[in-house]
Amino acid sequence: GQQLNQSPQSMFIQEGEDVSMNCTSSSIFNTWLWYKQDPGEGPVLLIALYKAGELTSNGRLTAQFGITRKDSFLNISASIPSDVGIYFCAGRYAGTASKLTFGTGTRLQVTL
């Protein structure tokens, strides 16, 4: 199935550092979502974006819906060990009312 381009694939950072990851699509999206998945669990919603240019924060997390509607980024500030996990972007293409298309994930490792 079709997937978004998500980068980087993995990151090793030190506690306290800021993290940035992004997703790009060749098609226009009308919704961008960011999820975090821990081992053995389902994805948990972090942030939902519904309008081009929208910038939304959830604690130390900030995400933006790109102006072109073809990209989105997620920033994590002052990372802590519990930020470890796999982060997925997901989007809903314009004209698709239902299914989400997922990125390939960014695996985040935080060292003390």
Tell me which residues touch another protein (CB under 8 A). 1, 3-4, 6, 30-31, 33, 35, 40-45, 48, 50, 88, 90, 97-105
Q: Minimum CB separation from another protein for residue 80, in Å?
A: 23
Residue with tokens 């060749």: 26
* Residues 93 and 29 sit within 8 Å (Cβ to Cβ): yes
Of the two residues 1 and 59, which places its CB atom closer to another protein in the complex?
1
Of the two residues 44 and 55, which places its CB atom closer to another protein in the complex?
44
**What does the alpha-carbon distance between residue 55 and residue 75 come to, in Å, rounded to a whole number?**
11
Q: How far apart are the first and last CA of the chain?
A: 37
Of the two residues 11 and 33, which places its CB atom closer to another protein in the complex?
33
Of the two residues 35 and 73, which places its CB atom closer to another protein in the complex?
35
Q: Minimum CB separation from another protein for residue 70, in Å?
A: 17
**What does the alpha-carbon distance between residue 31 and residue 33 come to, in Å, rounded to a whole number?**
7
Residue with tokens 């298309």: 101
